[in-house]
Amino acid sequence: MKPPIFEYFRPKSIEEAVSVRADHDYSAILAGGQSLIPTMNFRIANPTAIIDISRIDSLAEYRIDDSQIVIGAMVRQRDIELSDSVYKVHPLIRETLEHVAHVPIRCRGTVAGSLAHADAAAELPALLLVSNGCVVAHSASGARIIDANELFQFHMTTSLADNEIITEVRIPVMHDDAGWAFLEFTRRHGDYAVAGVAVILRFSEDGICEESSIASCGIGSRAVRLPEAEAVLLGKKLDSNIINEASQAGKEYVSAADDTHATTEFRQHVLSTILSRAINIAKSRARYGSE
């Protein structure tokens, strides 16, 4: 469990970082190291150059403006989790982060790093999806925005190019009348999700569901939105039949094969359970969810 030889770089600016990245065919960004270092020690990833971005000061900050939360690539998960200002405009973020690994790991792991790592069972990709967030990617030739629904391709694979670095994560603030919930099923406290769901719902004053956003992790090769389940809720009052119907619709998105933790069938069962529970919680938290 020792990595092969690699070169180590510690740039002081984004420009420097992207230029090192451009110079190496197989480089990896070192953020919190909580996923990169194990994959290197297992020799699953064998990058020849490591670009440590921890000394790029501008990446270590987050800010909130009128419409979005902007999280620099070196901001630790724990800082966002504990941030009251973030909680105020997007309470689902804290609830989701509480399910990511354990406190010591969140103290080092970054929000951007988790998204870049794109583990199919990681919670934060589902959060970005359900929130319609995006990341900003820099390369030597400039910056571009990648929307959540384009970012996650496959387990541990994103649409980020080899020469790009995520510099920011952007998450639109949540409407203050929205209801939200994150629920997951794991074998042990703090593990990756066997199945996880993130839900944001909004209702008209007479209790009709007007906005429904549902994402899930752990159920296939990447985090996904569950549009069929969302559609079941839209335009309806959410009684137990409707919620049950939505949770049944959600089941169809389970594509993971049997693994050591769950068979496909059991995963479907679990997904439908947490989905209906999460919808109920989100409904109860929404301003007009229970009329």
Ligand X SMILES: Cc1cc2nc3c(=O)[nH]c(=O)nc-3n(C[C@H](O)[C@H](O)[C@H](O)COP(=O)(O)OP(=O)(O)OC[C@H]3O[C@@H](n4cnc5c(N)ncnc54)[C@H](O)[C@@H]3O)c2cc1C
Contact residues for other proteins, defined by CB under 8 A: 1-5, 42, 185, 187-192, 260-263, 265-266, 269-270, 273-274, 277
Quick one: tokens of 175? 């409407």
The size of the interface with ligand X (CB under 6 A), counted in residues, is: 30
Nearer to other proteins, 40 or 171 (CB): 40
Q: Give least dist CB 78 to ligand X, A.
A: 10
* By the rule CB under 6 A, 194 interacts with ligand X: no
Nearer to other proteins, 191 or 211 (CB): 191
Piece of 109-117, 147-155, 170-178, 201-209 that binds ligand X (CB under 6 A): 109-117
Beta bridge partners of 62: 71
Q: Where are the beta strands (DSSP E) in the chain?
A: 7-9, 27-30, 49-52, 62-64, 68-72, 134-139, 142-147, 152-154, 157-158, 165-172, 179-185, 195-203, 209-217, 224-225
Beta bridge partners of 212: 201
Residue reference for tokens 């059991």:
266
Whether the CB-CB separation of 104 and 76 falls below 8 Å is answered with no
Q: Give least dist CB 32 to ligand X, A.
A: 3
Piece of 112-120, 147-155, 250-258, 260-268 that binds ligand X (CB under 6 A): 112-120
Piece of 84-92, 117-125, 199-207, 218-226 that binds ligand X (CB under 6 A): 117-125
Q: Give least dist CB 176 to ligand X, A.
A: 27
Nearer to ligand X, 157 or 204 (CB): 157
* By the rule CB under 6 A, 105 interacts with ligand X: yes
Out of ligand X, other proteins, none, what residue 266 binds, judged by CB under 5 to 8 A for its kind, is other proteins
Whether the CB-CB separation of 102 and 81 falls below 8 Å is answered with no
Burial bucket for residue 27 (CB in 10 Å: 0-12, 13-18, 19+): buried
Burial bucket for residue 268 (CB in 10 Å: 0-12, 13-18, 19+): buried
Q: What are phi and psi of 19, to 5 degrees?
A: -75, -35
Quick one: tokens of 165? 């670095």
Nearer to other proteins, 53 or 262 (CB): 262
Q: Give least dist CB 236 to other proteins, A.
A: 23
Whether the CB-CB separation of 152 and 118 falls below 8 Å is answered with yes
Q: Which of 93, 120, 151, 165 binds ligand X (CB under 6 A)?
A: 165
Piece of 28-36, 175-183, 242-250, 274-282 that binds ligand X (CB under 6 A): 28-36
Smallest CA-to-CA distance from 110 within 124, 129, 96, 121 is with 124
Nearer to other proteins, 56 or 122 (CB): 122
For residues 222 and 42, what is the distance between their CA atoms, to the nearest angstrom? 22
* By the rule CB under 6 A, 34 interacts with ligand X: yes
What are the residues binding ligand X (CB under 6 A)?
Answer: 28-36, 73, 100-101, 105, 109-110, 112-114, 116-117, 119, 122-124, 160, 165-166, 190-192
